[in-house]
Amino acid sequence: MNKFIFSVVCLLCALSTSLAQPRKGSSILEIINVANGNRTVVKEFPYIIEAPNWTPDGKWLIFNSRGKLYKISPDKPGEPQEINTGFATACNNDHLHSFDGKQIAISHVTQEDRKSRVYTLPIGGGNPKLITQLAPSYLHGWSPDGKFLAFCGERNGNYDVYVIPATGGAEVRLTDAEGLDDGPEYSPDGKYIWFNSVRTGLMQVWRMKANGTEQTQMTFHEDRNSWFPHVSPNGKQVVYICYNKGDVAPGAHPANKNVELKLMPATGGESRLLTKLFGGQGTLNVNSWSPKSDRLAFVSYRLDDEQIFARSTDIGDCALAGSTVFDKPRGQYTISGSGANMWGVIDAFQYAWTEHQGDFTLVTDIAFEGKGVNAHRKIGIRVSESLDPNAACIYIAIHGDGLTALQYREKKGEITKSSVSENKAPTRIQLTRKGNNFIMKTWSVGQVPEKSDAEVILELPAKCFVGLYVCSHDNKVLETAHFSNVVFAK
């Protein structure tokens, strides 16, 4: 394939990581359990963040945003803490830490020629040291013994995999195939370098010995372009990100696409789908495995102009008209509703909703307004087969007195059932759908739940109504609640 064409494609991809192309939207920092695929939202940001690294001690996630590096606790997320990178204030999403956790390596776009070069600095911050004299160079790997860095470099019109001493020196070219070779990363035992290459047509995952020999194709997708393989710390699994064949050129990895995360054995073989999401550039550019190899951090995205629940209505017999107001600057839904109850064979409530097909995770902060009239007033997240008041459905019900439950109606018109949580009066709730499995998590802001509150198997159509609701439990009264920091990860 023509070298010039791939060079142009790669240059466009490189520019997308620099400050030359501003991106707008919201970023959702998430963690996924690789055993069961359960996703947990760590924090949503009203701006773009990219490429989380999990530190070896498990205490921090390091990410880049607006040219700088930050860290945040994955378990008790507060405000991000900036890492001092000195003059390097144009860092892109190619950054990582050494295996011993003592240093960070970054890719910084220099002022002189606006090209990316590789630098290193202490993990706690400091003045960066230039490692790659030539540019552009995009960092991706650090050898376990700390002696070498692996990067993608454009030299003489072709993008290839190179290694260089971590203290600086002569770079060594490891690949010379026509077209783009990118994303080189060492295996934990130091024997291999994993990378992605277009040499066979579509972008595929490859592996080679650390000295560049025995270059071997590891994936053989015919309808996917596969990028950025990351080996788990225990050396057993590899995660990578896939674009649909028709969405992108083989040598491109843009933002704002429907993508997949896939897992495969490090020894090779069939891969399996881990999750689907809206993202791409910034989602999984660097290794983001947890130290125990049981979880992954990644970033999904939402466009700025997206109001998640643009429609609302009263469901069932509501004597007082309800309302839903969206405060765009604050990203908050204020919902007022009446209705006698949500229980038995029929419901009545105010519903802010959207139609969605497939799996999702919906998480929101919740707050009742005032003391309320009835202790059984309810607010929460609801999924329903239709807008009928007696429809088959499932919903998180947070009662005025703190009772927390996952309630569901298996068939239209049947009696509602309930699975009660041990938690009382949570301030943050999450409902995840995986096929016909619905998972509830509840907790307080500033914490991350370690386990689910309840799980229910319920056969609902793939396309359902999903949204937020308020029921006053007294048809002569309007109750109001506020839903903020709403994240709808698809």
Which segments of 64-136 does DSSP mark as H helices, in order? none
Mapped onto helix, strand or coil, the DSSP state of residue 8 is: helix
Is the pLDDT assigned to residue 7 strictly greater than 60?
no
What does the pLDDT average to over 143-154? 98
Res 306: pLDDT: 65
pLDDT band at residue 466 under the 50/70/90 scheme = very high
Mapped onto helix, strand or coil, the DSSP state of residue 5 is: helix
User: How far apart (Å, rounded) are the C-alpha atoms in residues 116 and 93?
Assistant: 11
Is the pLDDT assigned to residue 159 strictly greater than 90?
yes
pLDDT band at residue 41 under the 50/70/90 scheme = confident
Q: Give the type of residue at 70.
A: Y
Res 182: pLDDT: 98
Res 44: pLDDT: 86
Res 15: pLDDT: 39
Which tokens is 121 given? Answer: 């600095």
Residue appearing with tokens 């202790």: 375
Res 62: pLDDT: 98
The 8-class DSSP code of residue 91 comes to: B
Q: Estimate the share of the chain in helix, then strand, then coil, as percent rounded to the nearest 5.
A: 5, 50, 50
122-126, 143-147, 484-488 — which is least confidently predicted? 484-488
The answer to whether the bond into 461 is cis (omega within 30° of 0) is no
Res 304: pLDDT: 65
Count of residues making up the chain = 490
pLDDT tens, position by position, 390-448 = 999 999 999 999 999 999 999 999 999 999 999 999 999 999 999 999 999 999 866 76
The 8-class DSSP code of residue 460 comes to: -
Residue 13 has φ and ψ, to the nearest 5°, of: -65, -40
Please say whether the beta carbons of 28 and 489 come within 8 A.
yes
Looking at every residue in the chain, the average pLDDT score rounds to 92
What does the pLDDT average to over 19-48? 82
Q: What percentage of the chain reaches a pLDDT higher than 70?
A: 94
Res 269: pLDDT: 96
User: How far apart (Å, rounded) are the C-alpha atoms in residues 372 and 136?
Assistant: 61
Is the pLDDT assigned to residue 113 strictly greater than 80?
yes
pLDDT band at residue 23 under the 50/70/90 scheme = confident
Q: Which domains does the chain have, with CATH numbers?
A: 3-302 (2.120.10.30), 311-489 (2.60.120.200)
User: How far apart (Å, rounded) are the C-alpha atoms in residues 291 and 74?
Assistant: 12
10-14, 269-273, 282-286, 402-406 — which is least confidently predicted? 10-14
3-state secondary structure 335-387: EEECCCCEECCEECEEEEEEEEECCEEEEEEEEECCCCCCCCCEEEEEEECCC
Res 393: pLDDT: 98
Q: How many helices (H) and strands (E) does the chain have?
A: 1, 39
Please say whether the beta carbons of 47 and 27 come within 8 A.
yes
What does the pLDDT average to over 453-481? 97
Please say whether the beta carbons of 225 and 245 come within 8 A.
yes
User: How far apart (Å, rounded) are the C-alpha atoms in residues 185 and 112?
Assistant: 28
> CA torsion sign, 407 to 411 to 412 to 416?
negative
pLDDT band at residue 277 under the 50/70/90 scheme = confident
User: How far apart (Å, rounded) are the C-alpha atoms in residues 90 and 42?
Assistant: 25
74-88, 180-194, 200-214 — which is least confidently predicted? 74-88
pLDDT tens, position by position, 210-257 = 999 999 999 999 999 999 999 999 999 999 999 999 899 999 999 999
Most confidently predicted of 20-29, 30-39, 309-318, 456-465: 456-465
Is the pLDDT assigned to residue 3 strictly greater than 60?
no
Please say whether the beta carbons of 481 and 473 come within 8 A.
no
Res 22: pLDDT: 59
User: How many Cα atoms within 13 Å fall on the side-chain side of residue 409?
Assistant: 23
Terminal CA-CA length for the chain? 35
Nearest one of 338, 318, 337, 398 to 366, comparing CA atoms: 398
Which tokens is 34 given? Answer: 């690789």
Whole-prediction pTM: 0.74
Please say whether the beta carbons of 212 and 175 come within 8 A.
yes
Res 357: pLDDT: 94
pLDDT tens, position by position, 162-181 = 999 999 999 999 999 999 99
pLDDT band at residue 266 under the 50/70/90 scheme = very high
Res 38: pLDDT: 80
Is the pLDDT assigned to residue 1 strictly greater than 80?
no
What does the pLDDT average to over 101-130? 95
Res 6: pLDDT: 42
Res 112: pLDDT: 85
219-233, 308-322, 463-477 — which is least confidently predicted? 308-322
Which tokens is 62 given? Answer: 């390091």
Res 24: pLDDT: 79
Beta-bridge mates of residue 325: 334
* CB-CB neighbours of 263 under 10 Å: 18
Q: Where are the beta strands (DSSP E) in 101-147?
A: 103-109, 116-122, 129-130, 137-142
Res 16: pLDDT: 38
